[in-house]
Chains A and B, each alone.
Chain A
């Protein structure tokens, strides 16, 4: 296929592809949570049904809301994560990168939380206001360890590329910092920060359904809520991809060779058949999940699956923490571990010890 055709295909497919992958990922989150709790769980298309239903519902805007902020915030958040995921796909698939793109990515990663804070504070509801306060504190808590974790990676990368080159994601994705001591520490801390960024359970303090009535999203209804749900779904694609590129050595797009196509088609057929029969037995459900994970590993997304599964397991085995516990956790424990990791990485760089 010619270069130009690939380019056109990329730009046509990237946004719908990311959204579809995000919806599938959010189904996996719900399904695996259900299997962990020994339930059956929702069908494959459930996230799509939810979004379609919300699109058809009435949009209520509270009387005291700042209309423009309230209406624009979900779109800003969605555009932010879509931009981030386009950047990551572009770097993964065609190695096009520019100097300092990791800094752009860090900024784009803040956009969803920022949009959430703006939208909920614009909605003029006391519950949302409490949620906004918590979200702000949470952002302040996890941004510092997250950036420190990236600093560790940048120090690790400095050994192998030219001056300035360590700020480019394509260069960082060439190596695997998680195989060293400081890199492993940074990866684990960044994983927990991403858990908080996604609003997953130990850190779902801002959305706290039982006490705040879904907190930051409380006043949103209809299509606006659907945009928030889409944003959360796309974040489920973009953030694990980013973690995989920074810490685990990136995704090398190994699309199946022509000889593999029959196997690939057979695997897809098994997946579709298992999904069709899934209502009859749990075994078919588990089978289809396994086939799906196998397909992901086949096209080079195995690291993505690993990160998502880690996130889901942390989500399902922990109760919600209070905001002060979360701040102490991120600043004292994660911050301390990462300060140690930065020192280790610097020592390793100075005396050229790779495993530090």
Chain B
């Protein structure tokens, strides 16, 4: 394991992308920063710009409008980076499957830009913060 990857595992800065979520997953994401879960213990930090990010936390179904922005945000994230699909909608469009406004599952939108993207799925409606933390741990141990 190179020093680069080792340091990356110790400090994962995440950027939160909402592609048309109902705000439930977003609240659970913010919940990870509260004293109860405090992910800063592991060096995980929420940042304000995709250029600072090592991981994108994508919530929502991936609407036609948001898909264009999501591709742009993914291109602007410095590599290496990982993508976390948080919630049932992001993982497979959920109850909105086949809706007129749905541009497809989020993972397909990202694969259009980068076929080799590292994508992790955290299902649930909304997923518990524990589930998200365990998703992060699984991805980090897989890199």
Contacts and interface: CB of A to CB of B under 8 A. Distances in A.
A219 to B, nearest CB: 6
Contacts of A212: 48
A213 B78 contact: no
A191 to B, nearest CB: 27
Interface string A5-46: 000000000000000000000000010001001111111011
Interface stretch (B3-11, B109-117, B128-136): B3-11
A262 interface: no
Interface in B6-37: 7-8, 10-11, 13, 35
Contact of B7 (A56, A59, A213, A217): A56
Given A56-B3, A57-B78, A221-B78, A42 B41 contact: yes
Contacts of A56: 3-4, 7-8
Contacts of A41: 38, 40-41
B10 A53 contact: yes
Contact of A213 (B13, B35, B38, B48): B48
Interface in A199-226: 209-210, 212-214, 217-222, 225
Interface string A58-76: 1110000000000000000
A60 B41 CA distance: 28
A26 to B, nearest CB: 13
A221 B15 CA distance: 13
A50 interface: yes
B65 interface: no
B43 A225 contact: no
Given A53-B7, A56-B8, A46 B43 contact: yes
Nearest to B15: A213
Interface in B25-84: 35, 38, 40-41, 43, 47-49, 51-52, 54, 76, 78-80
Contacts of A39: 35, 38, 40-41
A214 B49 contact: yes
B78 A53 contact: no
A43 B54 CA distance: 19
A52 interface: yes
A49 interface: yes
A34 B10 CA distance: 18
A58 B48 contact: no
Most B C-beta atoms less than 10 A away, residue of A30, A38, A46:
A46
A60 B78 contact: yes
A34 B3 contact: no
Contacts of A217: 49, 52
Contacts of B80: 57
A225 B52 CA distance: 8
Given A40-B38, A41-B38, A53-B7, A210 B48 contact: yes
B40 A34 contact: yes
Contacts of A219: 49, 51
B79 A52 contact: no
Contact of A30 (B40, B48, B49, B51): B40
A222 B8 CA distance: 12
A45 B43 CA distance: 10
